[in-house]
Amino acid sequence: MFKFYMPVNVASHIISFLAALVLLTAFGMLVQKRIYGLIRLFTWQGLFLSLNTAFVGYVANKHHLYISALLTLSLKVILLPYILHILIQRLKIRKEVETIVNVPMTMLIGIALVILSYHLTAPIRELSNLTTRSTLAVALATVMLGLLMMITRKHAVTEIMGFLAMENGLFFAATSATYGMPLVVEFGVAFDLLMAAFIFGIFFFQINTAFDSLSVEQMARLKEDD
Amino acid sequence: MIFTPDFKLAVGPIEIAAASISMLFVVALLAALLKNSQRLAITLSFFLAAVASLLSVIAGIWAVGSGTTNQIVLLIGLPDLPFHMRLDPLAGFFLTVIGALSFFVSVYSIGYVKGYLGHRSVTSLVIFYCLFLAGMFMVVLADDALFFLVSWEIMAAASYFLVIFENERVENRRAAFLYLVVAHVGAIAILLSFGVLAGFAKGPGNFGGYTFDAMRQAHFPVEWATVAFLLAFFGFAAKAGVVPLHVWLPEAHPVAPSNVSALMSGVMLKTAIYGIIRITFDLIRVFPWWWGAVVLILGLLSAVMGVLYALMQHDLKKLLAYHSVENIGIILIGVGLAMIFTSFNQPLYAALALIAGLYHTMNHAVFKGLLFMGAGAVIHATNERNMEEMGGLIHHMPWTATLFLVGCISISALPPFNGFVSEWLTFQALLLSPSLPSPLMKLLIPMGAALLALTGALAAACFVKAFGVTFLGHWRGHHNPHAHEANWPMRLGMLMAALTCLGLGVLPTFFIEWMDVIAEQFVGSKLAASASIHGWMWLTPVSYHRASYSGVIVLLGILIVISAVYLFLHVKPGAIRRVPIWDCGFEKINQRMQYNATSFAMPIRRIFGFLFNVREEVNVVPHAGHKAFPKRLNYRLRIRDRLWNWIYKPIVGISFWVSRKVGKLQQGRIQIYLLYSFITIIILLIFVR
């Protein structure tokens, strides 16, 4: 079988570039105010992730990563955005996404988190000899940015977007740190994610009917007062 | 249950004890199955429980009598941590005490619990009664920390459900909750104590240290041994109701069904005494003298405070509950003295003190059981717990009155009954303190003897009040008395307890010889050598010249006096006449004007009032505008435990304050919760990477 061997240097540059795109979409999601825009960004992030996975599989000669890439593509680029679209249409969400902390501040915190991630993964980068080792910091940053997004947004749908972005980061971390998880685990995680999306969807309908709103601030009313 | 086979002897005492426990579990199951035929369930279950208790008594008497120690490893428990059971003379002694009272109370219950028929289902009462008995038996038989704590919790949980049996009243639920809280705080302390001991037994990280055998072999550094002792003592004191941890006791005991109160007060508290003796004399073995001083001082405090609180009570069962605090104090005086004498290396005196404590343990179990059974019969007959609403019951319930009187005499430490013997022995032990090398102890312990004497006198006063107001005089209540005598099983249970009181009081030398092996094992000296040197009739704890007591001769003397008085008064016709009370010409005298419990306790309340939170209110509604002619007079008296305000209220306040502060973390907003995890992750990543 014909196999084209790419110089390691070039391969690592391409991987870094894709990682940068993932990080860029993560930042984009942090500042994006419109909900359709968020979904679009999430789709892009999934696409970059999928491309990256496939490319890593090609470079490292791990064929099961192709399947991972396909799985990512079908789930995170096609299925989940589609579900979210339907969800938003059914819930008739028109409003812009409200944030608790203003956008420049969120950006600054995000940048600090990226720097922190690079600082934290420095010892690992020195130990590892994988082509993808430089992207571990990006993966960690993506996880943290996802969590940050969940903290700074008020709307329930953006919470799930943050959650999905976090999962993207985790998947990315798995690819970059160890060339992906065993396929069985990956299938399991993908399935869990799908389930989570469905369950979130059902919950949102319930919350919407109960509170006439999807702002998670309303849920503070559930707290038992003394 | 499956046992590892013992090839030498097919059936030993421990097998009998294990059979008794298994039987109780089976009876609990049986009671659950007999849910639909309550009358049969009561008779059968309590009969079988009585048989099981009798088996335990046999096992206990055998184990103490032969002085042997048997061990078995059960095939249940956690993986690699099997349960160990061990029957040594100390366990055998407590098995006998618990079994004997359980036997009396089980017989009594056959009659007593039938009183609930038609009112409520008694299935839960029967089930938890059996589990409660099994739990107590297992506590004294347990030979590892795990089994001990499991049994301890079974006992606590079962008794909680028994306390809450009549759960429709708020005060019952409150009392049960208080009991559960105190029991668990105590259990945590005991758990920690065992943790310390097990850690030093085989080194931390080795689970083999959890058996008592491993702890017996170990050597503990004195500071850690102190930690373990203080924790264990705190835990057991909470169970025993030592002042200031007694608050649950006067709440929980009165609201439980009376047969359960009898067991809780009579024997459940004793498991704590067992625990204290087991941990100090058997597991830790070597201890400084001040441990004994702590036990002695708290014992004295409990004895005096307990009896003073009891005097202020008008609720018959509450009064008895406070007397449990007092008697636990008296037992702890004996145990504390034994510890002091042991650490100063005076084994004979230590043996005397320990035997005094154990003897009082046995006595208190029997007479307090008897008194609670009697109180149960009275409450059963009158539907009334307040003594101020009783009176003259001796005419309606002669059996109960006589048997209750036996209990009263016993608890007041009057010869010829059993309370006298053990309190007298405790006195002898207290008066031996001049032999101690520490001048401080020499001076302070005789003061303890004075306090014990005060306790005895106050207890006698209290039972004059309890018996007099309840059974003598005329009926004080508002509604007409329809009091009826207790039924036969109840009478039988009380009668057996009363006869045991007499036996223990008249023939102490036999019992002391029987239980001497415990003293020999733990303090290294026998008491019987000196105690019964002048034959079985004379009890001479140290020497004949110092002090001696013969229950038989005292009994004979009392019998002669009583029969002489009887002959003098009753044989001659016309010596007794029944006439109306002389009313000083007032002519409107009624039964509410009798001397009652409040008036009886009043002088003592005046003297010791500073110990209580007393509030007295007198409201006079004058007739025709002049105070000299009251139309109506309201008197209200409220006496509260000061310790509740001093110790417990602040603790409750602090817990609520802390909870409220911690509750601030719970904002109910999802972002805040996410922020907590986010910050935690960041901090962990930075510091633990």
0.90 exceeded by pTM: no
pLDDT per position as a tens digit, B155-174? 999 999 999 998 888 888 88
**How far is residue B1 from each of residues B14, B151, B272, measured CA to CA in Å?**
13, 15, 26
Nearest CA in chain B to A122: B689
Confidence label for B190 from pLDDT (cuts 50, 70 and 90): very high
Q: Per-residue pLDDT for A210 more than 60? A: yes
Cα–Cα distance, B129 to B120 (Å, whole number): 16
Q: Where are the beta strands (DSSP E) in B396-519?
A: none
Rounded distance, CA B425 to CA B516, Å? 14
Is the pLDDT higher at B4 or at B685? B685
Distance CA B572, CA B567 (A): 8
Across the interface, do A120 and B667 touch by the CB < 8 Å criterion?
Answer: no
Residue B639 confidence (pLDDT): 82
Q: What is the pLDDT of residue A65?
A: 85
Residues 6+ apart with CB under 8 A from A108: none
**What's the ipTM?**
0.79
Using a CB-CB distance cutoff of 8 angstroms, which residues of chain A are in contact with residue B675?
Answer: 151
pLDDT band at residue B368 under the 50/70/90 scheme: very high
CA distances from B285 to A207, B215, B220, B281 (A): 65, 10, 10, 5
Picking from B685, B686, B687, B688 by the largest number of A CB atoms within 10 A of its own CB, the best residue to mutate is B685
Per-residue pLDDT for B373 more than 90?
yes
Per-residue model confidence as pLDDT tens digits over B565-599:
888 887 777 777 888 878 888 777 777 778 888 88
> Measured between beta carbons, which residues in chain A are less than 8 angstroms from residue B682?
116, 144
**Interstrand relation of B70-78 and B81-87 (parallel, antiparallel or unpaired):** antiparallel
User: Which chain B residues are within 8 Å of A154, Cβ to Cβ?
Assistant: 671
Picking from A101-115, B136-150, B486-500, which range would have the lowest pLDDT averaged per residue? A101-115
Minimal CA separation from A52 to chain B, in Å:
26
The total number of residues written for chain A in this structure: 226
CB pairs under 8 A between A and B: 43
* Domain regions of chain B by residue span: 288-572, 644-687
Q: Is the CB of A219 less than 8 angstroms away from the CB of B660? A: no
Nearest to A168 by CA among A146, A194, A151: A146
A86-116 pLDDT tens trace: 888 887 776 666 777 888 888 889 999 998 8
Q: Which residues have CB under 8 Å from B33's CB, separation 6+?
A: none
Range of A13-22, B125-134, B251-260, B279-288 with top mean pLDDT: B125-134
- Mutation target for B interface from A151, A160, A163: give the one with most B CBs within 10 A: A151
**Spatial distance between the Cα atoms of B229 and B292, rounded to a whole number of angstroms:** 11
How distant is the Cα of A220 from the closest Cα of chain B, in angstroms?
4
Whether the CB-CB separation of A146 and A163 falls below 8 Å is answered with yes
In the predicted structure, residue A194 carries a pLDDT above the cut 60: yes
- B62-80 residue pLDDT tens: 999 888 888 888 888 777 7
Q: Give B565's Cβ-side CA count (13 Å radius).
A: 5
